[in-house]
Amino acid sequence: MNVSSVPVEAGEPRSCPAILISAPASGQGKTTVTAALAYYHRQQGRRVRVFKTGPDFIDPQILTFACGQPVYQLDLWMMGEAHCRELLYRAAGEADLILIEGVMGLFDGDSSSADLALALAVPVAAVIDAQGMAQTFAAVAFGLAHYRPQLAFAGVIANKVGSSGHARLLLEALPADMPLLAAMSRDEAVGLPSRHLGLLQADEIGDLDTRLARAAELVNSFTPCVLPAPVGFANVSNNPPPRLLAGKRIAVARDAAFSFIYQANLDCLRAMGAELVYFSPLLDRSLPEADSVYLPGGYPEQHLQALADNTAMKQALSAHHRAGKAIYAECGGFLYLLDSLADKEGHRAAMVGLLSGSAAMQTRLANLGMHSLQLEQGEIRGHSFHFSTLETALQPLATSTAQRSFGHGEGFFRQGALQASYLHLYFPFNPQLAAGFF
């Protein structure tokens, strides 16, 4: 069942064990621990639903593999609190456990993991990398628990524990009212490899099942895993989006080069009546029969030559555009439609050529943060996260507003029925506007 696509009727509150897993900083092992817990409880026959705080495409792939269900984002600004509550209410109706992975450090950002936990009344568990620490582990945990006293703090999870003796030291140092929920041994076999945008994608990690099985074993090794306390989730009634895409067939690019897509976006398109079919710009030589094309973000720079060599697909997209059919492209999909793209080593290849301009990958981040985009049909929200820079003479139809003071707006381009930008937009924020892309 897709948890964001079916209208909610008024009903009783639902209760489900739930916890938000955060940390003092990035790199402490939140994704590994969350995936390990999801995998472990799934092994016990429990139905686990996992959410990811903030706009993220890569961690949810790992978490989806671990829990066996689609993973949805939760973000107060991009989605709104009511929509976040709606998703959790649906999940509580079909789950035995809800896990929410936080983002960055617990209190980092204008819409932090702590803000989300407070708004949704979900208790927090903090993952702390315990390497090289003993009693200081307890001091870090104490600080996280008391920095905002109104935050419900369920306990702490020790990561990269050296031995059973190390685990005992950590446990003895903690205050009596702060449980050690789990202690996970240090083991290189469970590490998740990464690249410039984050972790490798799930289908790129050939031994992911082995890694997660080992992680699930380790997270239960020193202290038995128990279910967190039940959390009550109030019903948030909503109206279904209008069926503006009834009878429309949308071809969605989905392969190793184009995989950054919100599950909620796909649900939203289906809820508006669209039929979705999938294709691979890397492997397929023709488009499926479709009224419109959706090119999401991803890693086109990692597959530069393969995309350039598939001239049949480039010709098919050009013919689709000449026929006046809609194309909507985000970030990596946007780069694919340019004249050319260069990777960070400077190797350049010809892309589809539907948008005049070129882009080149850089070694440093070019833009990051939440954005609001205002179009004729109103506002829609999303985020930007890219390492490439763009050179084009095209004039944007509109420019987004960055929510961070050091961010900069992204141009939104329209040529006929083609619309594209660096932005990853969240369709359920304004389904009527999103329908216009297709």
In Å, how far are 70, 72, 161, 200, 213 from 61, measured between CA atoms? 8, 10, 26, 9, 16
The catalytic residue among 16, 67, 84, 331 is 331
Tokens of 371: 């954005």
* Residue the block writes with tokens 């890219």: 386
For residue 233, how many other CB atoms are within 10 A of its CB?
A: 24
State the Cα–Cα distance between residues 424 and 69, nearest whole angstrom: 22
Crossing angle of helices 135-146 and 164-173, rounded to 10°: 40
State the Cα–Cα distance between residues 95 and 367, nearest whole angstrom: 37
Q: Is 331 noted as a catalytic residue in this protein? A: yes
Residue 301's φ and ψ, nearest 5 degrees, are -65, -25
State the Cα–Cα distance between residues 297 and 430, nearest whole angstrom: 20
Tokens of 8: 């909610």
360-362-363 Cα angle (round to 5): 160
Tokens of 309: 């060599």
Total residues belonging to the chain = 438
State the Cα–Cα distance between residues 175 and 196, nearest whole angstrom: 39
Give catalytic residues, as residue numbers.
331
